[in-house]
Amino acid sequence: MSQQMSAPVPLPQSPAQKTPWFSLDNRYIAPAFITCILLAGHLSFGILESYQKTLLAIITSIGLELVLGRIFFHKWIHPASAYITGISVGILIRSPAFWPYALCSAISITSKYVLRVKGRHIWNPSNFGISGMLFLAAETVATLSIQWGNYLLPMVVIWALGSVIIWRLRRFHITGIYVVSFIAFAFLRSWMTRSPWQSEIAPITGPMYQLFIFFMITDPKTTVRSRRGQCLVVFLVALFEMVLRLYQVVYAPFYALFVVGPTAMLIEIWLESHRANATKLTVTQ
Amino acid sequence: MTGNRIARAILVLFFIGLLATPFVIKRMSPRREGDRSKFEAKTALARYGFYLEEVSQAAGVNFVHQSPKLDPKLDPIMPEVASMGASVSIVDFDRDGWPDIYVTNSAIGSKNALYRNMHDGTFKDVAGELGIADVNRPGTGVSTGAVWGDYDNDGYEDLFLIKWGRPELFHNDHGHGFTRVTEQVGLPPWINANTAIWLDYDGDGLLDLFVGGYYSEDIDLWHLTTTRIMPESFEYAKNGGRKYLFHNLGNGKFEEVSSEVGINSRRWALAAAAADLRGTGHPDLFVANDYGVSELYFNDGKRFHEVGERTGVGFAPKSGMNATFGDILNQGRYAVYVSNISEDGILIQGNNLWMPKEGTTGDAVKYQNLAREFGVELGGWSFGAQFGDLNNDGTLDLYLTNGYISLDRNRSYWYDFSRVAGGNSTIIGDAKNWPPFDGRSLSGYQTKRVWVNDGAGKFLDVAQAVGVTDTYDGRSVALVDLWNRGVLDVVVANQNGPLLIYKNTVTPENEWIEFELEGTISNHSGSNRSAIGAQVTLFWNGQQQVQEVSGGSGFAAENDRRLHFGLGRNPHIERAVIRWPSGKVQTIDKPATNQSHKMKEPA
């Protein structure tokens, strides 16, 4: 889904790009999809408080990506990833002020260049930026929680379209495992807290989750590499989210991904390094 | 290599700088001056030119509002669904020249109160003896607000009682009692409303009545047939109560004409106010809606035209709970203040201060929200607000009350609220899907805002510093010169809390002037006797300020009928221009300061 979401360098060509039924370069699919969501949401329900704020987030994101990419990678980075980060910030951050949109984008993009281990950045950029803003600027910033009119049709359309695209990008297992886990944990929470199950399910029917599920947890640059590992990590994200929800943390999904995602990445990096050392040792011996 | 290291070091510093930015901005923000200051009368007087002292007990007012208890099916979320009803309106019901106070109660069997001004600093509740206390009887619903207007032009203000239930109109029998005329005038049997205002929309000299429904009028909240009574969306709900415009026929009857004149909305109205925003001589109508966008209706004297989106005020959906007008820059143009919800880290809607854009006037007027720039954006879970010159310095200040549900201080309902509010309409719309409140608070125990206007586009919150330290769940605010001293006192109605009377003490150097207007009507020409819709533009010291007599504004509130202007020190008044609702214009040259001018519309 979001191959370019966080990549400072162009991705290798995906085999899926050779399939005849869909010829669009993969790196354009995610930007196209998120743009469709934005336009559909805004034209039908006027979801954007102002065009300018979203535009500010996008321009900041792309601008900084180009500058930092030039400085540290000596090339002009393809702007698709930064575009998605900017547009995610523009949709997900809610603030009456302008500066949080620029700042959140700037933190998101810069985090990719600063917080790196063994050449890999370990936080999903927009997850880092948004979590950071919620933590650091709580009196000015909230996230999108109530949009699309709370109606069924927009939700079904986005879920259907998102699922098809995510399947094409071979990341559907991540989304699927997360959704199933969330629903299972929702019923468990309902049983534990004796609150109506509908209220536990309610968050996933909202638009914040659509962006979270399709654009954040599927980010290939900040998820582990093995398919089995991805399933395990996303299950752990849902599990940790459930724990946070039991403590009534409003932004549980963002914080769960913020903690579990990088932890999994670090473990994978450590394991890879350990394996490489072991192989080197064997070869040397 | 070294260059790369330097670049990385700069990048890290840049990143740290980005992370530190919110702290820096927070430290630079002046918005909560009041939080840092403790109340000290002399200091407040010297620094801000006024202070407020809560005197309800000393004034003999010990009214405590009681919330309604609705159908038991709503018990799990009763604090939320029964969270409104406290209101205050100011009226001189007996025409003795001293303003009286009417307050509503909202439990079945509870009594409303009419506090007659005893002229000695005290009040006496006379609602019972005059027949407007026992109005919350079983089967008739409960009171949520009241607005006063002389609908039959007999010189005495009549009472329209806003209810979740059977709306009531009481005719004022020359200050000696009230006669219920609900059926005679043709009001519907049931409306679940929180707002109503008197206005003469067609300029015929007869006051008409706008009523904005909240819950659908089909719902009897005490006998529910379904729990699907909640909004279908937190931001786009259109399943609320209908709107009513009762056209005064002049024969003691009203005719409902809302659809006929272009008002068709089922948004969840919480506040309405009317003023001539375009200089047409006709009152335009502003409606602040919960769970959605605000609506602005331009009035051409016969029909209303909804222009919210076109003018900019109806674009971003929020939780509108207040509508009030004020010429805050002394430019002869009104700003509109709409209160919304702000809760740190959860929901930052921000209140709206709609200012007319430079260079836009008349039908082409556009509004921009400058609440942040002016410093009046964040007020917690905001409810009623009113503009008024609290320190008589010549600029309008802003008093805002807030706080939604104050129960257990240590446990919050916000988590549950936020997850359900974001859910699909089938979930949010049904009360049974909402988690039980269990005694938790929701934006409770909030400190109030008293924003002092510096006249140059900045407001500073001085609430704590001037003595406004209560943390009740405020709903309705009315400004009134209670004791004819030339200062604006503040009366606040709190949900499940006491009625507060903040007596104002203002530095004596600052002068003032008040206008008490009375329209005259004969042979269907002239203005309503309440003078609702009359505008006074005062020109002094090279500036001007416009104010309009209102038939209800804020949240479930009505201010003193008299228009109060602060003038600052050593003012030189050039003239006051009165534009009556009939269109007549009257100019008073150099009116004397520090007195109230009683003005009757010239024949």
pTM of the prediction?
Answer: 0.91
CA distance B555 to B197: 11
Q: Does B423 touch chain A (CB under 8 A)?
A: yes
Give B194-235 pLDDT, tens digit per residue.
Answer: 999 999 999 999 999 999 999 999 999 999 999 999 999 888
Residue scoring higher pLDDT (A171 or B109): B109
What is chain B's mean pLDDT, rounded?
95
Record: contact A250-B7, CB cut-off 8 A: no
Residue scoring higher pLDDT (A152 or A260): A260
Whether the per-residue pLDDT at B532 is higher than 60: the answer is: yes
Record: contact A139-B26, CB cut-off 8 A: yes
Q: How far is CA A155 from CA A35, A161, B580, in A?
A: 16, 10, 53
Which of B18, B26, B346 lies at the smallest CB-CB distance from A106? B18
B3-17, B122-136, B539-553: which range is least confident on average?
B3-17
Pick the residue from chain B with its C-alpha nearest to A49: B316
Residue scoring higher pLDDT (B170 or A147): B170
Whether the per-residue pLDDT at A2 is higher than 50: the answer is: no
Residues in A closer than 8 angstroms to B235, CB to CB, are 45, 146-147, 149-150
Pick the residue from chain A with its C-alpha nearest to B293: A46
Whether the per-residue pLDDT at B97 is higher than 50: the answer is: yes
Give the angle B200-B202-B203 at the CA atoms, nearest 5°.
65
Q: How far is CA A220 from CA A81, A124, B533, in A?
A: 12, 9, 63
Give B401-448 pLDDT, tens digit per residue.
Answer: 999 999 999 999 999 998 888 888 889 999 999 999 999 999 999 999
Give B348-392 pLDDT, tens digit per residue.
Answer: 889 999 999 999 999 999 999 999 899 999 999 999 999 999 999
Whether the per-residue pLDDT at A19 is higher than 50: the answer is: no
Residues in B closer than 8 angstroms to A196, CB to CB, are 432-435
| Residues forming beta bridges with residue B461, ordered by sequence position | B451
Closest CA to B266 of B196, B217, B303, B222: B217
Mean per-residue pLDDT for B62-84?
97
Per the CB < 8 A criterion, the answer to whether B365 and B311 are in contact is yes
What is chain A's mean pLDDT, rounded?
83
Residue B23, C-beta contacts closer than 8 angstroms, at least 6 positions apart:
A136
Record: contact A250-B15, CB cut-off 8 A: no
Task: Write down the pLDDT at residue B1.
Answer: 56
Task: Write down the pLDDT at residue A170.
Answer: 87
A51: closest CA of chain B, how far (Å): 11
As a whole number of Å, the end-to-end CA separation of chain A is 43
CA distance B70 to B220: 9
Record: contact A114-B11, CB cut-off 8 A: yes
Mean per-residue pLDDT for A198-206?
89
Whether the per-residue pLDDT at B449 is higher than 50: the answer is: yes
Whether the per-residue pLDDT at B327 is higher than 90: the answer is: yes
Q: How far is CA B158 from CA A69, A181, B161, B477, B551, in A?
A: 72, 61, 10, 20, 12
B320: closest CA of chain A, how far (Å): 15
pLDDT band of A17, cuts 50, 70, 90: very low
Encoded tokens for B561: 């009928």
Record: contact A150-B348, CB cut-off 8 A: no
CA distance B162 to B12: 60
ipTM of the complex model: 0.84
CA distance B7 to A72: 8
Record: contact A46-B317, CB cut-off 8 A: yes
Pick the residue from chain B with its C-alpha nearest to A110: B15
Task: Write down the pLDDT at residue A146.
Answer: 56
Q: Does B409 touch chain A (CB under 8 A)?
A: no
Record: contact B422-A106, CB cut-off 8 A: no
pLDDT band of A285, cuts 50, 70, 90: low
Q: How far is CA A85 from CA A68, A73, A124, A189, B322, in A?
A: 15, 19, 9, 32, 36
| Best to test chain A binding among B315, B427, B430, B434 (most A CBs inside 10 Å) | B427
| Helix/strand/coil for B142 | strand
B421: closest CA of chain A, how far (Å): 7
Q: What is the DSSP letter of A203?
A: G
Number of H helices, E strands in chain B: 10, 42
Q: Which helix (H) or strand (E) holds B356?
A: strand B352-356
Residue B522, C-beta contacts closer than 8 angstroms, at least 6 positions apart:
B603
Q: Which residue has the tokens 């003999």?
A: B60
Angle between helices A125-136 and B2-28 (to 10 degrees): 40
Q: Does B427 touch chain A (CB under 8 A)?
A: yes
Task: Write down the pLDDT at residue A212.
Answer: 86
Whether the per-residue pLDDT at A104 is higher than 80: the answer is: yes
Whether the per-residue pLDDT at B94 is higher than 50: the answer is: yes
Mean per-residue pLDDT for B538-545?
97
Pick the residue from chain B with its C-alpha nearest to A68: B11
As a whole number of Å, the end-to-end CA separation of chain B is 91
Count CB pairs under 8 A between chains A and B.
Answer: 157
Whether the per-residue pLDDT at B461 is higher than 70: the answer is: yes
Q: Does B234 touch chain A (CB under 8 A)?
A: yes
Pick the residue from chain A with its C-alpha nearest to B237: A149
Pick the residue from chain B with its C-alpha nearest to A48: B316
Give B138-167 pLDDT, tens digit per residue.
Answer: 999 999 999 999 999 999 999 999 999 999
Task: Write down the pLDDT at residue A32.
Answer: 83
Record: contact B422-A110, CB cut-off 8 A: no
Pick the residue from chain B with its C-alpha nearest to A93: B348
Which of A45, A103, A202 lies at the smallest CB-CB distance from B423? A202
pLDDT band of A24, cuts 50, 70, 90: low
Residue scoring higher pLDDT (B518 or A194): B518
In sequence order, what DSSP letters do the residues of A113-142 get, joined into one string?
HHSEETTEE-S-HHHHHHHHHHHH-TTT-E
pLDDT band of A3, cuts 50, 70, 90: very low
| Best to test chain A binding among B424, B428, B434, B438 (most A CBs inside 10 Å) | B424
What percent of chain B lies above the pLDDT cut of 90? 90
